[in-house]
Amino acid sequence: MSLNLHNKDFVSTRNLDRKTIDAILKESSKFDKGNYKKLNKTIALLFFEPSTRTHLSFSTAVRKLGASEIGFSNPKASSLAKGESFSDTIKVVERYADAIVIRHPLQGAAAFAADLSSVPIINAGDGANQHPTQAMLDLYTILKKKGKIDGLKILLVGDLKYGRTIHSLVFALSNYNIELSLYSPPSLALPERMVDELRSRGTKVNILENLDFSGQDVIYATRVQKERFADLEEYERSRYKISIKDADTMKRDAILMHPLPRIDEIDTAFDKTKHAAYFDEAANGVPVRMALLSLILGGK
């Protein structure tokens, strides 16, 4: 078992190597089977941005571990509303908690907190930048549904520019021998520097002109990130939908993933089909986050 997560921050997937990711996935499977030890720690959940799954699955993970939770999901109810700085908030909370889980609208907020804090910081999403725990549960979902990650053809669809789940997922996937295809509405392409970095890591990246599902083992769709657009008309132009008719062009065993929330990117008619993996994906947030908290805070 890899121990290099012990007492470490978890802010990005960029520097995660395959050994560490494989260890997280293996550990997640143990937690999934109910095979784990209690964790006598206090974990702070500080959510400066809306959340359903990430917040509730971290909260469930903390409870199942027998650990204690403190924190807020509405910063308006904290002293931030009185004008207290983010830095002071972190310096205080680190004195109450053994680890701090943070979601924040600003890119770099988690890394900034990690520089300040003496306790581990876990990034639960910082602006359009990273969402590394989501990437771990996404990989866990792929592994559980497909039995492997190597050798798969994976299509990422949607807002590849602002989607932080995408930015974390692509770097995590670059540790595996996969073929990545990208399709986005105009102006929401994966930033070129990321495409270059993935290719320099040896990942095969295809940029699709048309949305083509054929041959793909995993289709990962994302919400167009309305809150990150300066121009709402551009947002309206960028919306897309995967219709149930598209199922005819998919491999029979292709899985359809989505970090959720879904607005209208995936026809709800998919929910009853074997393709739909998104609700199981959300469920996997609990064992994966339990495993991460234990690897970071558990005994060596």
With binding defined as CB under 6 A, does residue 54 bind ligand NCD? Answer: yes
51 within 8 A of 208, measured Cβ to Cβ: no
With CB under 6 A as the contact rule, the residue among 41, 131, 144, 289 that binds ligand NCD is 131
Q: What is the DSSP letter of 178?
A: -
CB of 219 to ligand NCD, least distance (A): 16
With binding defined as CB under 6 A, does residue 165 bind ligand NCD? Answer: yes
Task: Single out the segment in contact with ligand NCD by CB under 6 A; choices: 8-16, 92-100, 210-218, 254-262.
Answer: 254-262
The residue (of 91 and 239) whose beta carbon lies closer to ligand NCD is 239
The helix/strand/coil state of 154 is strand
CB of 187 to ligand NCD, least distance (A): 17
The residue (of 64 and 223) whose beta carbon lies closer to ligand NCD is 223
What whole-number distance in Å separates Cα of residue 103 and Cα of residue 124?
Answer: 5
185 within 8 A of 212, measured Cβ to Cβ: no
With binding defined as CB under 6 A, does residue 134 bind ligand NCD? Answer: yes
Q: Which helix (H) or strand (E) holds 199?
A: helix 192-200
CB of 131 to ligand NCD, least distance (A): 5
Q: Which helix (H) or strand (E) holds 279?
A: helix 278-297
Q: Which residues pair with 232 in a beta bridge?
A: none
What whole-number distance in Å separates Cα of residue 244 and Cα of residue 58?
Answer: 32
CB of 150 to ligand NCD, least distance (A): 25
Task: Single out the segment in contact with ligand NCD by CB under 6 A; choices: 23-31, 36-44, 192-200, 258-266.
Answer: 258-266
What whole-number distance in Å separates Cα of residue 90 and Cα of residue 121?
Answer: 10
With CB under 6 A as the contact rule, the residue among 7, 260, 267, 283 that binds ligand NCD is 260
Question: Quick one: angle between helices 278-297 and 18-32, nearest 10?
Answer: 110
Residues that bind ligand NCD (CB under 6 A): 53-54, 125, 131, 134, 164-165, 222-223, 259-261
